[in-house]
Every structure is written in structure tokens, then in C-alpha cells.
Structure 1
Amino acid sequence: MTRPIDRALADKVEVERIKDRSHYLRGTIVESLADPLTGAIAESDTQLIKFHGSYQQDDRDIRDERRKQKLEPLYSFMIRVRVPGGVCTPAQWLTMDALARTYANGSIRLTTRQAFQVHGVLKRNLKATIREINETLMDTIAACGDVNRNVMCNPNPYQSPLHHEVYEVARQISAHFTPQTTAYHEIWLDKKLVAGGERKDEEPIYGKHYLPRKFKTAVAIPPHNDVDIFANDLGLIAIEENGKLAGFNLTVGGGMGMTHGEPETYPRLADILGFVTPDQVLAVAEQIVTVQRDYGDRTNRKHARLKYTIDDRGIQWFREEVERRLGWKLAKARPFAFSGNGDVYGWLQSPDGKWHLTLFIQNGRIIDREGAPMMTGLREIAAIHDGDFRLTGNQNLMLANISPKKKPVIEKLLKKYNLHDTDRQTGLRLNAMACVAFPTCGLAMAESERYLPSLIDKLDVVMKEAGLEQDPIVIRMTGCPNGCARPYLGEIGFVGKAPGRYNLYLGAGFAGDRLNKLYQENVNEQQILEILTPLLHRYGKERKPGEKFGDFVIRKKIVRATREGKDFHA
């Protein structure tokens, strides 16, 4: 039998109490939205609205000034849109473009998990925005919260003839774990209960308390690890045999988040659990989720992810518990290899004659800037595009399935709006990622998206001097240790500690298969440059043929290799 949730202990945690009393995620969201006296919603509803795909935020750039004026913070909402596998239609792109300009801050953010985000939506516009998203056959439910979130999948159809089959598996997983509560439709889409009927919500997989913490799933197609498969709670690695999809290797227990100064928290790469055939995927995935539902730590949210459940009890226990629930044993994992976790830029043609172009989008921000009207250009492309758009796990954008007839038309628009500039970018910039951080993220301790480009400008000077200008080095930055941009998988990683100061990490695997290690704590920009300049010059002179920077700093004993999550702080 599964272990019952100890509600007496769980109810000591505020979020667990809120979920328990929420009536399947309803809370008082309707009343909060109707309150005209504040731009915010009730504190308890800020937790529940995450399950609906939104975070309450405020503009931290002007928070102090508003406080001096005795005004409440300038509250607004971030809305995250699920895009399973990162695939959306031109019509859906145009909807996001219009919503961003009408209700949000005039930009679209492509996330590190192949989703859309729009920021700056005022409370009075929240319902209209979510309703219009749903009208274009997308949704926001389960984009955030203690549930299975947006399911990632290799977005590049030219890389494997199996892509469509694998993508359909990702869509099935996404649908299977979508919450069943009707609260979402009642609140945002005005779905009414049948006259005289009773609300009979149930969550056959999650239960009324949902999961202890967020749960992330991804699907990868070797040799490309562009979804950072080992950073996910659940991963599926496609195995091709004789030109056909044989099945998937399963990985479990990955996760990036930690807390500064608390070594009992740490990032962790997933373990390989076994192999399943395509028809076994949903059954196995469900049992993995239910084990975490029943055994995950609900008394401490910093210890609630699947990675800690597995480390506390052991991977062998976890495998046996999943197999016990299934009633059969998992097969042994099959051989595979990853070559990198970046994107392949430029034009490529697939066997069906269709063309695909991956565009570099710096930190995933789609916006019109002076001399670079990216948002306008992509809007014009969407108006004539006969294929689809594909969001990558590296915050970039693919124009996919372009017919030979439309290719020259799109090329003209790319040139007109200066969108295809990949050949003018350095290897460091093309492999960089940053989270949003200031001014909207309430957890940010330091700048990230607004700072990393200027830091790369300075590092690119060093890279050029060292003869490394076009060499790919994975560099990632976050404004806090929660790890949204997966900084612990950066060959060079920066994690915000305080304004203008970062912890510097080195030595991750280029293919996303090894965590990095703390090299220097609490450094400012001058110290960053003083540290990295000699290291990059050494790398340029002393590396072996084909040796990646992360491997180099380990071979030279600049940092120790991190072999497992519990070794991260050692």
C-alpha cells in the first residue's frame, strides 16, 4: 500500500493548507479579481493562481519610489502559456503578439522550457488575456504550480525522421497530466455548472493536494540534448533501432533549484531508471508521478522535489516501488550518446523538402528595439508562413516546415528586419541563456537578462584575444539560485547573490551530462573578468583537440568534477 499523506504535518506548511482548502484550485480567485481597491489578489490566491499559469509580480525598479509616495507596489501578472514540445501555429503566434502589445509590456518571452511568457498584465486584463489564449487552442493551466508543467521535446524535425512520433508522445504526456479540475474553465472561460448540478471535481492522478512541488518532464532525441534531459524530474530519451522508434530510456530525479547557504539543498542530475516501449510510457510516467505524490516531502518545500525523494530513499527503492505499482519490471536501459545541448542555427532542409531556420533570440526576448524591429518582423512572417513556429529549450526560435515556394518570401522579410544575424554572433553568445530576474521576478537577487549581454560583450573581447571567438562555450546566468536558466549546467555559470554580485561556477559537461562546481563566491564584474581572462587564454593555448571548456577546467584541476548532486557543494 502507498503511504498516506500525513495531513497533520503537511498542514503546518502554508501552501499545503491553501491547496487543501482551495476546492480544487478555486480559492477566492474570483473575488480577488473583482476587488477594485487593489491591483493585487489575496495572498492565498497568489499561490493558487500559479496552477492557472500566472504569477503576481510588481515592478521592483520603482518599488521604493512608490513606497515613499505611500502607494502600493505596481502589481501586474506574468502569464505563462503551455506549448507542449514547443510547437505553435502562425495563428497562435499572432495571438501572442497581439496580446503582448495590447495587455502586456509589448514583448514576448520565450522560456527555457519552450513556453511563452508575457509580463506586465494588469489584474483587470488578466481574464481577457487568458480567455483569448484559450480561444486560439492554447492554455495556461499547469504552466506553473505543483503539477507536471510544460512538457519539453526536441523541436527540430530535420534532426530525426522519428521527430513527429516522439513529439506525439510528448503531447500525450502533457494531456495525461493536465489537471482535471473545472476551476480553470469556470474562472477564466465563464463555464457554468449545469443547472441544479453539483460540482464533482476529482483529480484521479494528483488528488486534492496535487504534488508536493513542481514536476518537470522532457523528451530528447540523441545526439541532441537541447532540452537538458537530466535537469528534469522525468526524462525520456528516444532510442532508435533499425530506423524505428524502439522506445525510451527513462531518467528520474533531476532538478536545478537550491538555496544559498543551505548545503542540504542542491542541483541534481537525473538517474537512468530503465527502458520502456512507446505503449508503456503513460503507465510508467503515471506511476512515477504517483510515487512522488505519495512519498515526496510535503513538510519542507525546499526538500520537496523528486530529487530529494530519490536521494533520501535510494534509486533502487524508487525503481522497485514504481515496478510494484506497475506489476511488471522495467527493462534495462539501452545505449545512447549526446553530443551537446545547444541549438543548430541557420537553414536546414529535411528529407521531405521542407526548410527550417533556427533564429538566435537573445535570452528569448521578442521585442522591437531601435534598428532591430524583431517583433514586427516575426509578425509579418507569421502572416504569410505556411509551416509552424518552434520554441527551443535554449530560448531560440525555429521557423519550421517552410515550403520551397515560401522560402524566398521569408528570406526577404528576414533581411528587411535584420532577423537572421546568427553568423555575426560569437560562439559564447550563441550558447548563452539568462532568466528574467529584475524588474519583475520577486525572487531575483541580481540582474540576469538585462546584464548578461553586456558581460558577454566584455568576455567576447577576451575570447577573440584567445582565438576562441567562434568556439561554443555554454554560459548561463540566473538572478537567484532557483536555477530557471539551468546555470548549474553551464560550463560557465553565474548565480545572483546580491546586486552586482554572483557566485561563479565552472566545469559542467558540454552535453548537459555533468554539473558544474563553485569556483568563486560573491564576485563582481571586475573580479569575473580577472578570473576568466587568464582561464580563457589558458584554454586557447593548452586544450586538447576537440576538448570542451568544461572538460578542460577539470583536467587542469581548476575545479573538481561534480559526480552527483550530493557532491555539488563538496
Structure 2
Amino acid sequence: MSTTEINPDLVVDGKLADNERLKGQSELLRGTITQDLGDQMTGGFTADNFQLIRFHGMYQQDDRDIRAERQKQKLEPLHNVMLRARMPGGIITPKQWLAIDKFSQEKTSYGSIRITTRQTFQFHGVLKPNIKLMHQTLNEYGIDSIATAGDVNRNVLCTSNPVESELHQEAYEWAKKISEHLLPKTKAYAEIWLDGEKMQGGKVEEEPILGSNYLPRKFKTTVVIPPQNDVDVHANDLNFVAIAENGKLVGFNVLVGGGLAMTHGDKSTYPRKAEDFGFVSLENTLDVAAAVVTTQRDYGNRVNRKNAKTKYTLDRIGVDVFKAEVEERAGVKFSDSRAYEFTGRGDRIGWVEGIDNKHHLTLFIQSGRLLDYPDKPLKSGVAEIAKIHKGDFRMTANQNLIIAGVAEQDKAKIEEIARAHGLIDDNNSVQRENSMACVSLPTCPLAMAEAERYLPTMIGHVEGLLAKHELTDEHIIFRIVGCPNGCGRAMLAEIGLVGKGPGKYNVYLGGNKNGTRIPKLFKENLDEQAILAELDQLIGRWGRERNENEDFGDFVIRVGVVAEVIVSVRDFHD
């Protein structure tokens, strides 16, 4: 990959955000984390380490449900960490699964495993004495959490296609290669958590791709296999759209600059679709990935973190300028994009048979939360399957779990276990299976309103409205998030509820089924009663006035309920 000089005219001038200071002073992500681990006077991390542990895959949180009571008792918040594992493509073996199941049961406050929209798992509620043990346990089974948070390239997603097994395997291998290529090179993770050897003579490694100050903001990458857009490409900074000929992968269309986070009341922030740069052959994939990352590294906004993502860099310096910079750095010219089409993005719940004559069972896991409930011991059920399963598991970006590679003779036993533990529920509606929420309260410090805990109730209401208007066989892409930071991908929903305050949400309408359109603000700061009143009216109109096979998101735009968002910087806030 060639090197280029930085054009100072394209760099944002001003006082750097404080995160730039702490990254630059961190000795490549070491900080004083080790010292904090030994401090038994507090359950949390102090000063810069609160931010630095994110680069190691953890967020410091506390249980907000009991925060006020602890304050009354003059106790600090019940600090703990959430860990997000690095699992490119979401594939995990039964042996690994049983290991994480055991740890979650014995060493976390909640006892759950959560499958996330980043196609991996999270532990919630890990107290300080168990943090190092957690990393060492994961490492023993070939898992780490390097760079799953912080200003780096995060867990690389890959379409969970269990049918076209050969093409999926090729795409999955590229997801792993991209992940490894863009990882931080610092040894801080091994030193701190795995008792790796300290660097000699105070020497600090170099970061050839990420740089000594890493990226201006978080960075997300996907590999997607059309026609399924199950990874929601337009939520990500960098996307490789697999192009196949005769069932073999030949290259990728490269999409750059997607992202969904915004800030309430700040019109300089907005969700944005990714831009199609063109096609590259397989041998250029890693060079192009590095070139996109280094261009964002050098020209992303390090002054204002709210405008630091790749999407804002594209709009500030221009798509053509950004693309030309990538071509020069990679030594590659993009050719015209190859034809492809997305036809859906949901997971195919239930059994499907692959071209390799193996069977694959996709289990719907509401909000990805695996826990043993009184009437549905979901977590124990997956563990029982793991004990006998000879294939692998695939976590999906829609928070579901695929039992992949099942031989014909093993199908009946696996289904029997799944049904006995509530992992297969024939009463789940298609609407429920196409709805999603972020974690939100009680653990997320950014949450303004409920999401995961509220989703089952709200979906019940939506199911009722569909039945009322004789639309039971239809569904709407419906998502709830506790704040506007984008984790539950509500800004690619046909109906997106974005938390504004306790019990209050902004309502966005007009995304589409394929995930290729940003919705637009419909009403602000509504409570449940007001939301349901609006949806009752809109769903009723949809049932009466829609064109044949017209989806809800397309309908509300056609009849003028909201305007279509074509170019976010122009249309989203107008």
C-alpha cells in the first residue's frame, strides 16, 4: 500500500477533544489499568482508564435500578463491566459456547448471555475481582475482546448465510482476515489480562494502520452476501458486498460512510447511508480496507467527537475526494459496481437445508437475551444442544442463534431439546421476529428510556393493531432504542422509537424492508398512549389505502406522512 502526505486543508483545526489526549498518553492503550485492577477501595476504574478499557472490549456500567438506594446508603454505584467478545462473522463452537455459558452462570451478576446486534455475545455484570479471570477464561478457549469498543475497527460482521455454505465460508474467511488486518498491534491486551511479557526498555510498538492516537471515533465493518442485508450495511462505516460468479466469490463492491448515531437537538448530527465506491477484486480487499481506515484516521474530526464518524468526513471533504484518497493509498482504482440486490434482512427462523445437505436451525431469541426464565429455560436449552451438536453456532446481527451444520439423523433430537426449553415457540408472530431493541436500562449509562425490557409489551400492542386492521399476516420492521446512539439500528426501521426521556420516545417513520432508506422524524416526545394512537391511525390507513403488496415504510412516504430521506445532510432535518 502506498503512502500519501496529509493535506492540511482537509484536517479540522481547533482544540482537540480530550479523548485525543488520553489516547496519546496511554502508552498504546496501557494507561494505568493494571494499577486500577489492584485498587480494592472502588469497584470501578478511574480517570482515563474508564475510557481505555473500552479498547479492551469493556464498558464500565452500574445497575441504575439500585443507584438511588445505594446513594442513600452512602455507597458508590455498583460498578461492573460489560464485555463484548470479538467473534468475526459470529461463529462459535459448541465447546466455546459451553465455556461462556459456565462463566456467565458462575461469575456474572445477571447470569445471562446476550447476543448483540454486533453479531457476538456480551457478558453483563462482571465485578472487578472477576475481570482478569474472564479474559483468561476466554483466551483459554480461543476468544478475546480486543477492539470491540473504543476508537478502532470493531467486530467485523458477516451475513449468516447457512444455505450457500461454500460462498458463506469464503465470505466468512474474509471477515476474519479483515478483522485481523485492522486490529490494534499493541500488546497491551496480552500484558494486562493474560500476563504477557512487558515490553523491554520502555519500547512502545507502532500502529501502522490505526496510528498512535487510533481513530477519531468508532469504526464498523461488514461483509454482506446479497440478497440478504442481515448486517444492515448502511449502519456501518465500511462494507464489502460479496459478488459471486458461478457460486464463487470474485470480489466486493465497497460501500463507505454509513452510520446511525445522532444527538437529540443537534442538527449537525444525523444518520447516513453508506456510499458505493465501486468494485474491487479479492486480492485488493485488505489494501482497500486499510486505505479507508487510514483516510478516516487522517481526516476524521478530532476536535468534535459528535462529528467524528466517517459519514461526516465524507460530507465535509467530499465523497470524490475521500474516494480518490483511498485509491491512491491502496494503489487500486475502483471499477464500476457489479449488480446486486437486497431483498430482505431478517433471519430465516426455523429449519433450512443447505446445498451441502446439512440442516440449519435458526432460533428466534428476543432481544438476544439468553436466560433461564421460569417457563422458558432458554440458556440451559442452548447448553444442552451444545453438548450434543457436531456443527457450529452462528450468532446473527439480528440477535438470533443458528444451530448450523446438523446432520439429518440429529435433527429430531436437537428440535426436541429446543422445544422442551422454549427455544422454538410456534406462537411467535412474524412481527415479533422482525422487531429489535438495544439493551438500554438498567445497565447502559446512556439510556434515556426503556428498550429491551419494554419491547415485548410494545410488540404485543403492535400485534393487536395489526389484528384490529386485519393485517395479521403482515409485519413492520419495528425497533426501539433507549437513546439516539444507534445500537439497536432504529434509524433503519420502518417504525423506530428513539428514547427521549422516561417513558417518552421520538417516533421515526419511513425506512424500508431492505434496510436501504433512513426514516424521518414523525412526532417528538410521545408516551405510549400517544404512540399507539398515532400507530392505530397509520396502520388503519395502510390497511385501507395501500397499493398491492406495498410495505408500511413505502406507504407512509407515498401518501406524504413523512418525506423521503434521500440525502441525509439535506433531508433528515428539513
CA deviation profile, 1:460-519 (whole Å, cap 9, x unmatched): 111111122231210011100001011010100000000000000011011000000100
1:218 counterpart letter in structure 2:
T
Shift in CA distance, 7/531, structure 1 to aligned 2, threshold 3 Å: closer
Secondary structure of 1:503's counterpart equals strand
Name which of structure 1's ranges 139-148 and 560-569 shifts more when overlaid on structure 2.
560-569
Q: Distance in 2 between matches of 1:484 and 1:285?
A: 23
Q: Of residues 408, 412, 415 in structure 1, which corresponds to 2:419?
A: 415
Which residue pairs with 1:304 in the alignment?
308
Aligned to 1:331: 335
For 1:73, the equivalent position in structure 2 comes to 77
Contact 1:445 1:497 survives alignment (8 Å): yes
Contact residue 250 and residue 272 of structure 1 kept, 8 A: yes
Q: Secondary structure at the match of 1:247?
A: strand
CA-to-partner distance for each residue in 1:165-190, whole Å, 9 max, x for gaps?
11111110011111110110000000
Mapped partners of 2:79, 2:246: distance in 1: 55
- After superposition, where does 1:205-220 map in structure 2 within 5 Å? 205-220=209-224
* Residue in structure 1 matched with residue 326 of structure 2 by the alignment: 322
Query: CA–CA distance in 2 between the matches of 1:438 and 1:162?
Result: 39
Match status 1:154 vs 2:159: yes
- In structure 2, C-alpha distance between the alignment counterparts of 1:10 and 1:377, rounded to whole Å: 55
Aligned residue type for 2:390: D
Report if the CA contact (8 A) 2:165-2:356 is conserved.
Answer: no
Alignment of 1:249-260 (within 5 A): 249-260=253-264
d(CA) in 2 for partners of 1:297 and 1:500?
A: 34
Equivalences for residues 13-162 of structure 1 within 5 A: 13-104=17-108, 105-159=110-164, 161-162=166-167
Question: What code does the residue aligned with 1:468 have?
Answer: L
- Alpha carbons 1:146, 1:215 under 8 Å: kept: yes
Shift of 1:328: 3.3
Q: Is the 8 A contact 2:11 2:300 kept in 1?
A: no
Q: After superposition, what is the alpha-carbon deviation per residue over 1:65-95, rounded to whole angstroms, capped at 9, x for unaligned?
A: 1111111111110011011001110111111
Contact 1:345-1:360 at 8 Å conserved across structures: yes
Q: 1:569 to 1:8 in 2, by over 3 A?
A: closer
CA contact (8 A) 1:427 1:473 kept: no
Matched, 1:222 2:226: yes
Q: Are 1:435 and 2:434 matched, yes or no?
A: no
* Counterpart secondary structure, 1:157: coil
TM-score (normalizing by structure 1): 0.97
The equivalent position to 1:388 in structure 2, one of 383, 392, 398, is: 392
The equivalent residue for 1:191 is: 196
The 3 A distance-change label for structure 1 pair 319 and 4 is closer
Amino acid at match of 2:149: C
The alpha-carbon deviation at position 12 of structure 1 amounts to 3.7
Question: Could you say what secondary structure the match of 2:48 adopts?
Answer: helix
Shift in Å, 1:159 = 4.2
Match of 1:554, SS state, is: helix
CA distance in 1, matches of 2:351, 2:560: 39
> Do residues 502 (structure 1) and 505 (structure 2) align?
yes
Q: Following TM superposition, by how much is the alpha carbon of 1:10 offset from its aligned partner in structure 2, in angstroms? A: 7.2
Letter in 2 for 1:177: L
> 2:484 maps to which residue?
481
**Amino acid in the other structure paired with 1:189:** L
Structure-2 change in CA distance of 1:442 and 1:550 (3 Å): same
Using the alignment, how far apart are the partners of 1:532 and 1:80 within structure 2?
35
Match of 1:280 among 279, 284, 287: 284
- 1:554 corresponds to which residue? 557
> Could you tell me how far apart the structure 1 residues matched to 2:70 and 2:184 are?
38
Retained in 2: the 8 A contact 1:219–1:238?
A: yes
SS of 2:399 mapped into structure 1: coil
The 8 Å contact of residues 164 and 355 in structure 2, kept in 1 or not, is answered as: no
Segments of 4+ in structure 1 off by > 6 A? 4-11
Q: Which amino acid aligns with 2:479?
A: R
What displacement does 1:435 show? 0.3
Q: Deviations over 1:94-148 (max 9, x none)?
A: 1111111111110011110101111110011111011111111011010101000
Match of 2:470 among 458, 467, 481: 467
Paired residue secondary structure (1:424) = coil
Q: Secondary structure at the match of 2:184?
A: coil
Contact 1:193 1:199 in 2 (8 A): no
Shift in CA distance, 548/8, structure 1 to aligned 2, threshold 3 Å: closer
- Which consecutive unaligned segments of at least 5 residues does structure 2 have? none
2:294 equivalent to 1:290? yes
TM-score (norm 2): 0.97
Shift of 1:243: 2.9
8 Å Cα contact 1:276/1:331 also seen in 2: yes
Aligned residue number for residue 426 of structure 1: 429
Instruction: Report matched runs for 1:363-374 at 5 Å.
Output: 363-374=367-378
Counterpart position of 2:363: 359
Tell me the distance in 1 between the aligned counterparts of 2:246 and 2:354: 19
Please report how far the alpha carbon of residue 242 of structure 1 lies from its aligned counterpart in structure 2 after TM superposition: 3.1
Query: How far is 1:198 from its partner?
Result: 4.9
One-letter code of the match for 1:497?
Answer: K
Partners of 2:416 and 2:500 lie apart in 1 by: 44
Identify which range, 95-104 or 382-391, moves more after superposition: 95-104
CA distance in 1, matches of 2:379, 2:247: 39
Q: How far apart, in 2, do the equivalents of 1:332 and 1:228 lie?
A: 22
Q: Which residue of 1 aligns with 2:186?
A: 181
- Name which of structure 1's ranges 509-518 and 541-550 shifts more when overlaid on structure 2: 541-550
Partners of 2:165 and 2:105 lie apart in 1 by: 36
Relative distance call for 1:7 and 1:44 in structure 2 (3 A) is farther
The CA distance in 1 between the partners of 2:461 and 2:330, in whole Å, is 54
| Cα deviation code 1:239-296 (max 9, x no counterpart) | 1223322211100000010000001100001010010111110011100100000000
- Secondary structure, counterpart of 2:451 in structure 1: coil
* Structure 2 Cα separation of the partners of residues 363 and 107 of structure 1: 12
Task: Provide the rounded CA distance (Å) in 1 between the counterparts of 2:240 and 2:274.
Answer: 11
What letter corresponds to residue 557 of structure 1 in structure 2? G
User: Kindly tell me: are residues 71 and 208 of structure 1, through their superposed partners in 2, closer, same or farther at Cα, counting changes over 3 Å?
Assistant: same
1:463 and 1:469 in contact (8 A); partners too: yes
Secondary structure of 1:207's match? coil
SS in 2 for 1:218: strand
Gaps of 5+ in 1: none
